[in-house]
Structure 1
Amino acid sequence: MTMRDAIFPARRQDLYDKHRYSAAIRSGDLLFVSGQVGSREDGSPEPDFPSQVQLAFDNLEGVLQAAGCGFDDVVDVTTFHTDPASQFPAVSEVRNRIFPDKPYPNWTAVGVTWLAGFDFEIKVIARIPQAA
């Protein structure tokens, strides 16, 4: 059986404990990151949509860093959008900054009707780099 280790970013474990899930699970050399939203330190949504998207990517980066990864290690992305057609330009702006070069990660975008008060969520799978 493969070992699984829970990963938590600094200063946010209480939020995950409250909702009873892990920010990410390391299994072998893969990291499975739970959906990250544009939540402030207290867990409340950032009201401005472009800022909410940026904060979701910032929160994702914190989880990746806690596991020794970065955006270059991301191989698969799934995003959830409450209004994909109108939100796509703001998401694309951040995405293009985060992933500027080929090869781009796999990407699946899903339109949803509810994200617990948020309008955008991102989850990823990353390959954990081998220690030098």
Structure 2
Amino acid sequence: MSTATFTSTPGYGQNLFDLLHYRQAVRVGDRVDISGQGGWNDDITFPESLEDEIVQAFDNVERTLATVGATWTDVIAVDSYHIPTADDSIGDEHTRVMAEQFRERMGDRAPIWTEIGVAALGAPGMRVEIRVTALVGQQD
């Protein structure tokens, strides 16, 4: 029987655990699920530009995956949550930067992806959140 190993990302993960009592990742066997990662720094503040926020969220996914022995190349599924633009669409900038980051971090490997527009996210000023599932060692 597999056991669940929960971890907190060093820095912001411990801050969020202390404040909100949740972990950033869980690994059961080869499967990894992570909590939604925002584009925050260790003090839970956000960059001014949307592109920088999305790139930081990808960096935070990478940091969190590393706590359980996984990488972006192990990722099989991505759910991303976005605050819509003024015209109520997710917007080209969100989608463009997400796709660029997939290509940069995963090469030819492509996950399944659901991009969801939402009215609000968990922190004031937050515009994107990324949650992934990975299978360690299952790259194609």
Give the TM-score category using the shorter length: 0.7 to 0.9
Residue type of the partner of 1:122?
A: I
Aligned to 2:111: 105
1:14, CA displacement in angstroms? Answer: 2.2
Matches of residues 1-132 of structure 1 in structure 2 within 5 Å? Answer: 2-12=2-12, 13-83=14-84, 84-86=90-92, 87-102=94-109, 104-115=110-121, 116=123, 117-129=125-137
* Contact kept in structure 2, 1:67 and 1:128, CA below 8 Å: no
- Percent identical among aligned pairs is 31
Residue type of the partner of 2:136?
A: I
1:62, CA displacement in angstroms? Answer: 0.5
Runs (4+) of structure 1 exceeding 3 A deviation are none
Separation of aligned partners in 2, 1:114 and 1:2? 36
State TM-score, norm by structure 2: 0.83
Separation of aligned partners in 2, 1:101 and 1:27? 26
Separation of aligned partners in 2, 1:113 and 1:82? 6
State how many pairs are aligned: 129
Separation of aligned partners in 2, 1:97 and 1:79? 17
Separation of aligned partners in 1, 2:137 and 2:23? 20
Aligned to 2:87: none
Separation of aligned partners in 1, 2:29 and 2:97? 34
* Contact kept in structure 1, 2:16 and 2:22, CA below 8 Å: no
Separation of aligned partners in 2, 1:81 and 1:46? 15
RMSD (CA atoms): 1.8
Query: Per the alignment, in what secondary structure is the counterpart of residue 76 of structure 1?
Result: strand
Structure 2: stretches of 5+ with no match in the other structure: 85-89
CA gap of 1:75–1:24, structure 2 versus 1, over 3 A, is: same
